[in-house]
Amino acid sequence: MSNPNNTITTARNFLKEKINSLKKDCEQCLFSKHPAPFPALLYCFSVIDLLGALFSGNAEDSAPTTQLKIEPTDQKGEFWFRISLWDFVEDIEDSVFGSNGYMNLLLKNVGNSQDNFEKAYKKIHG
């Protein structure tokens, strides 16, 4: 890539594909006859993890951004939480394409974000 325009185009296409996939799959999980919210939640976390890898420029297996885990913290093994998963999906989309989102950082190359994207993208896509 090395060319900033190519980096931006690649990032926009890659992220648009990921966000569209997230929205499509979560819509199927959440609004079907038999809702399946847990896979939608996991997919949201995996996209957040991907964004962390792209932002940091580190998509290695041992990178802290790729160590996302859900672990019990309650001694009784019972957990209660309430979340609007579709709002979560929309928040993720906004964190990428919103006015203060990741794509805006890439356009301005804030914090060497273009080089970081390239490093992580190359690791992901070999």
How far apart are the C-alpha atoms of 52 and 66, rounded to whole Å?
8
Task: Compute, in degrees rounded to 10, the torsion defined by CA atoms 59, 9, 108, 100.
Answer: -80
- The confidence score (pLDDT) of residue 1 equals 61
Full pLDDT tens readout for the chain, 126 residues: 678 889 999 999 999 999 999 999 999 999 999 999 989 999 999 999 899 999 999 888 777 665 555 565 666 665 566 778 899 999 999 999 999 999 999 999 998 999 999 999 999 988
How far apart are the C-alpha atoms of 126 and 115, rounded to whole Å?
16
How far apart are the C-alpha atoms of 46 and 71, rounded to whole Å?
15
- The confidence score (pLDDT) of residue 22 equals 97
Can you tell me which residue has the tokens 């041992």? 62
Give the pTM. Answer: 0.82
- The confidence score (pLDDT) of residue 73 equals 62
- The confidence score (pLDDT) of residue 18 equals 97
How far apart are the C-alpha atoms of 65 and 79, rounded to whole Å?
24
> Where are the domains positioned within the chain?
4-67+83-125
